[in-house]
Every structure is written in C-alpha cells, then in structure tokens.
Amino acid sequence: MAEETKNTEELEQTSAPSDSKAAKKRAKAKKEKKAKSHKVSSYIKDLKSELHKITWYSRKDTVKSTILVCVIMVVFAAVIALVDYLFGSGIALLGDLFN
C-alpha cells in the first residue's frame, strides 16, 4: 500500500511540473507583454515631456535663418562653380600645351 501511494505521488510530481512549466510560460509571456506595453507607454510619456522642454524659435527668427541659409548656399554654389571653371580651363590649357 505504501508503494502505491509513493508511485501515485511520483506520478503527480512528474505531471505537475509540466503543468507548472506551462503555467509559468503563460505567466512569463503575460508579464513580458505587460512590460512591453509599459515600455511603450513610458516612452510616449517621456517623449511628450521632452517636447514640452523644447524652445521653439519665433516665426521671425525662423524666416531670417532660412533666408541666411539660402544666401550662403548660393554663395558657396557660385564659389564652387568658379573653382570648377578655373580647374577645367587649366586642364584644357595643359592639354593644349602637350598637343
């Protein structure tokens, strides 16, 4: 009789861990899903907080900066075009020298 109860206990112990493992897996998956959703909500909350800290320029300052950037781009484009033309002319003159 003692052996039967011992065998029954062993059987229950061997089947219980598999049930327990499945339950642990489900609990772990649920916990990870909850942690992911918490991470996302925390990220959005932090993002909103950081956006409120930004100092935005006024419209007047933005227009001035934009115009300045456009003028500088035109000046640099002209300088690069001039240098390109000079190098091209120099190479052409060198080519004519050796012909």
The Cα 84–Cα 3 span in angstroms is 98
Q: Are 57 and 65 in contact (CB under 8 A)?
A: yes
User: What sections of 1-99 are H helices per DSSP?
Assistant: 2-53, 59-97
Considering the chain, what percentage of its residues have pLDDT values greater than 90?
Answer: 48
pLDDT digits (tens, 9 = 90+) for 3-50: 555 555 555 555 445 577 777 777 777 777 776 777 888 899 999 999
pTM attached to this predicted model: 0.47
Q: What is the dihedral of CA 92, 95, 96, 98, to 10 degrees?
A: 160
Candidates 86, 71, 41, 93; CA nearest to 33 is: 41
pLDDT digits (tens, 9 = 90+) for 65-74: 999 999 999 9
